[in-house]
Chain A
Amino acid sequence: MESEETPEFGNVRVNGEGRVEHYDGTTWLLYGELPDDGPGGGMDFRAPGSDDPGES
Chain B
Amino acid sequence: MTPLLPPSPQDPGLQAAGQQPAISSARTAVTDMRATARWTIAATAAVGGLLLGGVPLAAIGKVHGAAAITLAVGGLVLAVAGVVWAIWWTGEALVPRFVTLRSLQDRDLADLRTEIAAAPEIFFGPFGPTVDALDTACRLHATVAVNLSELLVKERNEDRHAELTHRLSAARTNAANAAARRKALLDLILAWQVRAALRRARVQTLLASVIIVVGVVMFLFATDGG
Contact = CB atoms under 8 A, between A and B. Distances in A.
Interface string B162-182: 011001011101100100110
B28 interface: yes
B130 interface: no
Given A9-B140, A44-B25, A46-B25, A20 B126 contact: no
Interface in B133-160: 136, 139-140, 142-144, 146-148, 151, 159-160
Contacts of A11: 1, 147
A6 B167 CA distance: 23
Contact of B160 (A9, A14, A42): A14
Nearest to B116: A43
A43 B122 contact: yes
Interface in A1-56: 8-12, 14, 18-20, 22, 24-25, 31-47, 53-56
Contacts of A10: 1, 3, 139-140, 142-144, 146-147
B22 interface: yes
SS class, residues of chain A in contact with chain B: loop
A32 B185 CA distance: 24
Interface stretch (B13-21, B73-81, B99-107, B215-223): B13-21
A39 B140 contact: no
B87 interface: no
Contacts of B139: 9-10
Contacts of B121: 42
B188 interface: yes
A19 to B, nearest CB: 7
A56 B191 CA distance: 14
B46 interface: no
A42 B23 CA distance: 12
B28 A54 contact: yes
15 contacts: A9-B140, A12-B148, A18-B160, A34-B174, A36-B127, A38-B125, A38-B177, A39-B185, A41-B125, A42-B122, A43-B188, A53-B21, A53-B22, A53-B24, A54-B29
